[in-house]
Structure 1
Amino acid sequence: DLGGGTFDISILELVEGVFQVKSTGGDSALGGDDFDRAIAARFLETHGVANPDAAQVTELLAVAREAKETLTRQETTELSALGKSFRVSRAELEAWISPLLQRTGVACRRALKDAGITREELDGVILVGGSTRVPAVRRFVAQIFGKDPLGDIDPDQVVALGAAVQADLLTNRERQDEVLLLDVIPLSLGLETMGGVAEKLIPRNSAIPTAAAQVFTTFQDGQNALDVHVVQGERELVTDNRSLARFRLSGIPPMPAGMARVEVRFEVNADGILSVSAKELSTGVSQAITVKPTHGLTDEEIEQMLLDSIEHAEEDIHARQLREQQVEADRILHDARKQLVAFSDLLPEDERREVEAAVGRVAELRESTTDSQALADAIKALDDVSRPFVERIMNRAVGTLLEGRRVDEV
């Protein structure tokens, strides 16, 4: 769908009246208007017009649009604007818009990948929008998908015809079961975990209705509540995604850190409504919330969020890895300091110095480094040096548990 201001692509599967959207994509900052601007820019360059005013730009863009439409039907045309004339050929126009077409190719290939299919598996390509009349566009479509696009429907009428059919289906009770559209989730849905990391439960382009669940645990001893922050987007950190909702699950029995089990479940119905529930598995205490993920979000904003995730993919991965190691450092530092106090009698002085030095190294890197691997190495070093100490703690715990009991009672 290449209209005046945007480019969109959807891959659908039709089986016995059921349309299932397999993937969507596009570029919200690309359209036929860019073709007009390409012609206008060459006109200004040829005639040495450096700073046209608003009225001149408006006049020139209108003439450029007319020239683009004329070149769809013939090989050359001449346009007149600002008291000057300019001859342009179809071949020249195609050279000017070639970089723009290449941009559409990126979105097309990504849509195929997201749908999990190859271009050979497509049965047809339908063109929508007046700009798809440009011969170069049609040839590029054939090149990308390996087949000529279907040309028996007027691209300006496709949307109107589809809207009319959909209106009939919605208002005519006798036809409501003839066609069913199964959409996909445009952006991933997940929640915030320790360290501000976004954990995706339902990935984008998942067909709806759909559901997913994951079990989480507590981070602190005696923690009796869990905050659930629902987010939407493709970035690795919560701060870079869109916040959808927050709620708190209270009534978790006090337990040591990591012992409680809380199942968080995401369900998206056929209308795109998201229901999120959290349930503590030992007591059954639960809390839930309902939200519409796409409310207040335009197609352009969705596309921009996808483009941002691609542009920042590498730095996002590094940031996530660092946050995860920082969370692990907090956990191991808390445990190490607690055990050093509680079981100090099990630690010889020379070994204590080694463990405390390793604790200090982890604590220092936790606050100063941006190298996740360096922090991971320091955590491993602390784990290695404290292993004999941990084994003595475990042996004492087992001994205390078995003290005074017969073998046949164990």
Structure 2
Amino acid sequence: MAKVAINLSTGSIQQEEIIVGIDLGTTNSLVAYIHPETRQPHAINDLDRGTIVPSVVHFPAGGDTPIVGTDAKQYLLTDPQNTIYSVKRLLGKSYKDLGNHATELGYRVIDDNSEGLVKIRVGEKFYSPIELSAEILKELRSRAEHALKTPVNKAVITVPAYFNDSQRQATRDAGRLAGLEVLRIVNEPTAAALAYGIGLSPDEEKTVAVYDLGGGTFDVSILRIQQGIFEVLSTNGDTYLGGDDLDRAIYDYWAAEYQLSAVLFQNPSRQQELRLLAEEAKKQLSQQDSLEFDFHGTQLPLSKAKFNSLVGPLVERTIVSCRQALTDAKLTPTDLDAVLLVGGSTRVPLVYDSVSAFFKQPANSSLNPDEVVALGAAIQADILGGNRRDVLLLDVTPLTLGIETLGGLMDPIIARNSKIPTKAGRQYTTSVDGQVNLKISVYQGERDLVSENRKLAEFDLRGIPAMPAGLPKVDVNFILNADGILKVEAIELRSGTSQAVEIKPQYGLTDDQVEKMLMDSLTFAREDVAARMVIEARTVAEQMLYQVERFVEKNHQHLTEEEITLTAAATQNLREALEAKDKDTILKAVDELEALTSPYAERVMNISIKQAMAGKKIE
């Protein structure tokens, strides 16, 4: 018996499953879909809150269920330790990647002194950026299901063009944890171009610039579109520049000009009020020449001319990025067919004028800049759903391909639904001192543990020079050709030692087996992610124990008896935590050991530097 779906919001028979497009943003996120009758993209609108969902997650005291979006935003100043924002900046990154920016956040990012991915501590619990992003995606999915009155299980999610493999995989994992099968990760500028109608015709050839100034980030991409294929020629930008900085320029001016600093310092709620007034001033001055606000008896005037002088240097920074992007693409402004504007901050007239002047043509701002990326993602979803017969859809790989890493985890290299032919790779290292062989096991499937996936091949990379753990650099590359034949190459960069294997049977799975593997990956998503996080926590803990024990053994003469005793107790506490097999318990013990030993390591480093410099002159 055939099944017929009826969309309760439109009353129409729904011929195909709805696939939504999601713009998972640093500051704001939103979800869009293609209307089944008009075939036009629409951003899903909550009647009370609009289309935009702030990318903010708040954890109330004593509550397990987080608050997401508009309702969470109010806690940014009143309870910053338990309110997470800008989590997109943390996706797929280690603490070392963040550098000084980690201290600028209002919440606590854990430094485990390793290359491991960051974790955020909220009370006694530890969250990964993937889990937090999943909460935002769950809210978007819930909104879509509420508005469309139908289950939503599939999505296309956008990411910046500069996102690396790790960041893209983290986004995909977040979607799966939110109960979504992520059919494709799409570059934001590609989605924007699709929304503007560029690239939908297979015989179209264009070169465009996409200027994206959002709430917290800025990037510009130069795209070449040929025969339905989008190629990113160059990308540039600033992950710490956006509309929030324009607001901050007004805030700082008012605070200094009208001597508000003391009042603001003593009253956090007044800070929030002034920030909101600054944001409102930015919006109003996009439409009028001057304004004046009353701030608790103090009059705060601002003219458009003054506003332009305040934000001018920030806008100029974006133009510098545009100039560099063109240089990297080896193009000039006259080589571009169009300049597309994305992001709410492009509504500021100075931004529009500056961009149009630089590129020597009027920028295209005909679509809602807040919605354009999500609308494009919805169009891409419609293409994947097979509803646009005029658009060429290249062959894709049906299941994720990856290798086994420490703890029996699957590390994806080529994601499911990647266009073929394709090539992707990752860099690995050894985990044991003096290791001379590295076993590479290739798997296919969507589960986090390799034991749940299908093994395709295994080979050894032999002859790695004996070095301390972590020093060898091994590149593992997957090359998947148009016939679906997978070649796996491994090369140790320092010695040039290499090995390769070709896996000829493309997949050897029936459609039913592929479908079951996909369904299992969603059904067991939470269990899989929980298991992965315990294994990753154990790996971090074991590395920490190894490093601390070696440190004490080599530097015990620089430590007091009390410090050695305290360190021994903390390491024993970590060993006992490992037995608990609970992620939060293990990470708490790691955090405590790190906090205890960091000052010792810093002191020993200073002693070593003094000894090395003894008797030497600095000129």
Question: Aligned in 2, Cα 1:367/1:253: closer, same or farther, shift over 3 Å?
Answer: same
Shift of 1:257: 1.4
Alpha-carbon shift at residue 111 of structure 1 (Å): 8.0
Q: d(CA) in 1 for partners of 2:185 and 2:429?
A: 34
Structure ranking higher in helix proportion: 1
Identity between Structure 1 and Structure 2 (%): 39
Determine whether 1:228 maps to 2:440: yes
Residues 283 and 405 of structure 1, relative CA distance in 2, 3 Å threshold: farther
- Label 1:367 to 1:301 Cα distance change in 2 as closer, same or farther (>3 A): same
Matched-pair contact (CA < 8 Å) for 2:486–2:506: no
Rounded Cα–Cα distance in structure 2 between residues aligned with 1:235 and 1:404: 59
Which amino acid in the other structure matches residue 586 of structure 2? L
| Deviation for aligned residue 1:402 | 4.0
Query: Cα offset for 1:386?
Result: 0.6
Equivalent residues in 2 for 1:112-151 (5 A)?
113-114=183-184
* Secondary structure, aligned partner of 1:343: helix
Matched residue, 1:390: 601
Deviations 1:131-151 (A, max 9, x none): xxxxxxxxxxxxx98xxx99x
**Counterpart amino acid of residue 554 in structure 2:** A
Measured in 1, the distance between the counterparts of 2:182 and 2:475 equals 34
1-structure distance, mates of 2:153, 2:562: 61
Q: 1:318 and 1:105, CA in 2 relative to 1: closer, same or farther beyond 3 A? A: closer
The secondary structure found in structure 2 opposite 1:215 is: strand
Given residue 240 of structure 1, which amino acid in structure 2 is its aligned partner? E
**Pairing of 1:7-22 with structure 2 (within 5 A):** none
Asked if residue 318 in structure 1 is aligned to residue 524 in structure 2, the reply is: no
For 1:234, what is the secondary structure of its paired residue? coil
- C-alpha contact 1:230 1:244 (8 A) present in aligned 2: yes
Give the match for residue 216 of structure 1: 428
Alpha-carbon distance in 2 for matches of 1:112, 1:260? 34
- Structure 1: where are the runs of 5+ without partners? 12-101, 124-143, 151-179
Note the residue ranges of structure 2 that are not aligned, 5 or more in a row: 4-15, 20-148, 157-179, 201-380
Go from structure 1 to structure 2 and tell me whether the alpha carbon gap of 1:197 and 1:181 turns closer, same or farther (over 3 Å shift): same
Partner of 2:577: 365
Q: Which amino acid aligns with 2:395?
A: D
Contact 1:244-1:293 within 8 A present in 2 as well: no
- Deviation at 1:304? 0.6
Q: Which amino acid aligns with 1:225?
A: N
Q: Aligned in 2, Cα 1:388/1:112: closer, same or farther, shift over 3 Å?
A: closer
1:304 aligns with 2:519: no
Tell me: CA distance 1:104–1:390, structure 2 relative to 1, closer, same or farther (3 Å). closer
Give the structure 2 partner of residue 330 of structure 1: 542
Give 1:389's aligned amino acid: Y
The residue aligned with 1:379 is: 590
Residues 188 and 396 (structure 1), Cα distance of their counterparts in 2 relative to 1, 3 Å cut: same
Number of the residue aligned with 1:282: 494
* Distance apart, 1:270 and its partner CA: 0.2
Against the structure 1 CA distance between its residues 114 and 358, is the aligned structure 2 distance closer, same or farther, given a 3 Å change threshold? same
Q: Residue type of the partner of 1:185?
A: T
Contact persistence 1:222–1:255 (CA under 8 A): yes
Letter in 2 for 1:374: T
Aligned AA for 1:271? D
Deviation at 1:293, TM superposition (A): 5.8
Map of 1:189 onto structure 2: 401
Deviation at 1:182, TM superposition (A): 3.9
Change (3 A) 1:297 1:256: same
* TM-score normalised per structure 2: 0.38
Contact kept, 8 Å, 2:399 with 2:445, in 1: the verdict is yes
Residue type of the partner of 1:254?
A
> Equivalences for 1:25-36 in 2 at 5 Å?
none
The Cα shift of 1:333 comes to 0.7
Offset from partner CA, 1:326-348 (integer Å, 9 cap, x none): 11111111111122222211111
Q: Call closer, same or farther: CA 1:181–1:361 in 2, change over 3 Å.
A: same
Count of matched residue pairs: 261
Displacement of 1:181 in angstroms is 8.4
Find the aligned partners of 1:241 and 1:332 in 2 and give their Cα distance: 30
In the alignment, the residues of structure 1 paired with residue 506 and residue 151 of structure 2 have an alpha-carbon distance, to the nearest angstrom, of 24
In 2, Cα distance between equivalents of 1:197 and 1:111: 20
Cα 1:270/1:380, change in 2 over 3 Å? same
Q: Which amino acid aligns with 2:557?
A: D
- Inter-CA distance 301–338: structure 2 relative to 1 (3 Å threshold): same
Alpha-carbon RMSD across the aligned residues, in angstroms, is 3.7
- Structure 1 residues 104 and 186, CA, compared in 2 at 3 Å: closer, same or farther? farther
1:367 deviates by 2.3
Shift in alpha-carbon separation, 1:406–1:246, aligned structure 2, 3 A = farther
Mapped partners of 1:315, 1:348: distance in 2: 44
Partner of 1:89: none
Contact 1:326 1:366 (8 Å CA) reproduced: yes
Q: Aligned-pair distance for 1:229?
A: 0.9
Aligned to 2:482: 270
1:277-323 residue CA offsets vs partner (Å, 9 max, x unmatched): 11111111111111136443221111110010010001111111110
Residue 589 of structure 2 aligns to which amino acid in structure 1?
Answer: A
Distance apart, 1:406 and its partner CA: 4.8
Aligned in 2, Cα 1:293/1:365: closer, same or farther, shift over 3 Å?
A: farther
